[in-house]
A and B are shown apart, each in its own frame.
Chain A
Amino acid sequence: MTRWRKRLFVATARITTDAAEYFGLPRDRTVIMGSRITV
């Protein structure tokens, strides 16, 4: 993807719903791990 499309994707990815919230997971027992993935 071109640079501006990458930036647009990163911007939209930032406002996505949190998976833990979506699936109604118990907050105090949920560990969220991020990983770096190059686009």
Chain B
Amino acid sequence: MPGELVRFTEVTKSFGPVRALDGVDLSIAPGECLGLVGHNGAGKSTLINLLTGALTPTSGSMQVAGSPGSVHDPRAARRLGIRCVFQELSLCPNLTVAENIRLVHPVLRGWNWSKRAAALIRTSLDTVFPGHCIRAGATVSSLSLTERQMVEIARAFTTTDVAPRLVILDEPTSSLDASTASQLLAHIRRMTQQGCSVLLVTHMLHEVLESADRIAVMSDGRVVGCDPADAHDRDSLVALMSGGTHRASVARLAADRRTGSSPVLEVRAQAGLKAGESLVANEGEVIGLGGLAGHGQTEFLVDLFSARTMAIVAGDRKRDGVFPLWSIRENISVGAYRKHLRHGLLDLASEQASAEDWRGRMKIRAPDMDNPILSLSGGNQQKALFARALDSDARIILMDDPMRGVDVQTKQDVYAMIRAQAAAGRTFLWYTTEMDELYECDRVYVFREGRIMAALGPNEITEERVLQASF
């Protein structure tokens, strides 16, 4: 296509053994609104980070405005006119609205900069969100989440030395109400008519269908389809996201054996769940909690958790998983240290024996269990956390997307362990954003906006059905 603004050719990006982008081909034309959709972990964020200069590709070529390899840092991206509205926002809460504008415009300096910054954001807010009531002198921490998102969006469309040529909007409407969201979509149309390109990344399929000229669908680090928006409807997008392959659910040998077992857990609408279906978990079952990230799965697990009968494997191991200063052995035994008490004191020999036992069973690759936990790779740390949960006598194990960013071999080891433990009668509740892991489950509940939207039985777990319920 002549006059392309952005062209990705065979772009890959790896983080250690994990391939986030696996040969992406994509182009954005000037004045085009390109929609980008895909499940969590499909590679959308990585793509955005490449465009904003926060990451550089592992291989492949990335041309912006005809110049190859020019987006090597955020400043270079800015000079090329690339602006980004991040999903988690990037305003400093301690600064005023005008001061936050200054941060992204190096030329706003010297005499009178604050007046100029205030005028700039006021004009932009008036254009994008007419009727807003945000003062340029207000401190960001005093604004509501909606107002902050409005400021963040309006900031991306301000112009000083470099006019925006490509504005990336990552889930821009997640905290906007219906009327401000439609103001934004109208502004996107105005901007594209003026020749500015927009990359609209969202889970709200109706928004891309409405506003985008073309829609790119990502799945497993690839762009699996990029067609005009008119050619699509909701169902065709969902079908594309599942990779087009209607993978049948793996037949479960163990499924029959479980039919007779008794429910160990039954959660009805009143307990934790909003109106929707109830969740039942039987002894020895692996229950998957699916859906897009942040749709209430973690909150559901936290509500459910009771220390007496359950153990939890944290997803964010840095924040609420490992004790960073302790050894591997201590990190494992802390979950059930009472087992190792003798006369009120810790019996180190018993603790050590148990740690050695887990090293063998979980295949933790460590020369010595007394080494600090941080000497392990991420995957092996996660194995140690699994060992901590399984070492307890909890009958129910809750898992909060624990395999994020873990290599394939480790995953296989852990899946095997989960199978073995389930066969021994333990019940697993497994929140995961990865489709492959849902295939490992006996049954799957799909969450959307804090509710269970679908309950899939052993032979019903397909990517398409999970995605249908997620969107």
Chain A bound to chain B: no
Chain A residues in the interface with B (C-beta under 8 A): none
Q: Which residues of B contact A (CB under 8 A)?
A: none
